[in-house]
Chain A
Amino acid sequence: EAQVTQNPRYLITVTGKKLTVTCSQNMNHEYMSWYRQDPGLGLRQIYYSMNVEVTDKGDVPEGYKVSRKEKRNFPLILESPSPNQTSLYFCASSPPGASVDTGELFFGEGSRLTVL
């Protein structure tokens, strides 16, 4: 089944404890992206990647890192999480050849992160 898989789905952690949220897609998509969703603020892009070894900042990249060593994986790294990073995180990917403007985004099921 074609899908975007995120892990963990739920995580409670403490301030300063490094964590990684993994994202993997099995659709051979080139474009991948991370979003955070917060009440009243909507979906905001954190980082995106047009292809392997190519990553760029989105609208809210502070406090996050990403890497794209393989086409299928795009992990989100929080080196020193803080309470303001408590949020619902979504990974998304888009098919090869699709424009970043009009290509369909396929989303994972989300990872709910709480930082105490």
Chain B
Amino acid sequence: TQLLEQSPQFLSIQEGENLTVYCNSSSVFSSLQWYRQEPGEGPVLLVTVVTGGEVKKLKRLTFQFGDARKDSSLHITAAQPGDTGLYLCAGAWLGADGLTFGKGTHLIIQP
């Protein structure tokens, strides 16, 4: 099983601040997804990135896939309390069946 590291594990910041969370692997991803999970619910897909260097934006969220396809980042601009949740990255590697999830970043945005 390939390993997928997420950092930081926990992050608590004030409303209005910017933040970045990271997802890294020593192997090349064939694709990578970011999910958000709220308490008492299942994860919900935010974005899928496939091409090295790809950047996707979802309102205040910016997702970047590394040029070498070994890492990805999620940047949130002007964080709001509604952004609070567990952010999970999930990677697929060539030849593997399905996705491997990272342990997640617990994000708390304080009003």
In the assembled complex, the CB of A79 is this many whole angstroms from the nearest CB of chain B, namely 24
B92 touches A4 (CB 8 A): no
Say which residue of B1, B43, B48 sits within 8 Å of A59 (CB atoms): B1
Q: With the chains together, A48 CA to B102 CA distance in Å?
A: 18
Is the pair B97, A100 in contact by a Cβ cutoff of 8 Å?
A: yes
Complex CA distance for A47 and B39, rounded to whole angstroms: 24
Task: Give the residues in chain B near A48, CB-CB below 8 Å.
Answer: 97-98
Contact of B99 among A4, A101, A110 (CB under 8 A): A101
Interface residues of A in 20-72 (CB under 8 A from B): 33, 35, 40-45, 48, 56, 58-59
Q: In whole angstroms, what is the CA distance A27 to B47 when docked? A: 20
Q: Return chain B residues, CB-CB under 8 Å to A76.
A: none
Contacts of B44 in A (CB 8 A): 107
Q: B41 and A100: CB pair below 8 A?
A: no
- Encoded as 1 (CB less than 8 Å from any A CB) or 0, chain B from 63 to 104 comes to 000000000000000000000000010101000011111111
Contacts A48-B98, A102-B48 hold; do A92 and B30 have CB atoms under 8 A apart? no
Interface size on B, residues (CB 8 A): 24
Q: How far is the CA of A105 from the CA of B30 in the complex (A)?
A: 16
What CA separation (Å) do A4 and B97 show in the bound complex? 21
Query: How many residues on the A side are at the interface (Cβ–Cβ under 8 A)?
Result: 25
Contact of B30 with A101 in the complex, beta carbons under 8 Å = yes
B40 touches A105 (CB 8 A): no
From A41, A56, A102, A107, B92 is in contact (CB under 8 Å) with A102
A25 → chain B closest CB, angstroms: 12
Contacts of B35 in A (CB 8 A): 105
Q: Is the CB of B42 within 8 A of A100?
A: no
Is B97 a contact of A105 with CB atoms below 8 Å? Answer: no
- Lowest 9 A-B CB distances belong to which pairs? A107-B42, A101-B92, A42-B103, A43-B101, A104-B45, A102-B31, A101-B31, A100-B98, A42-B101
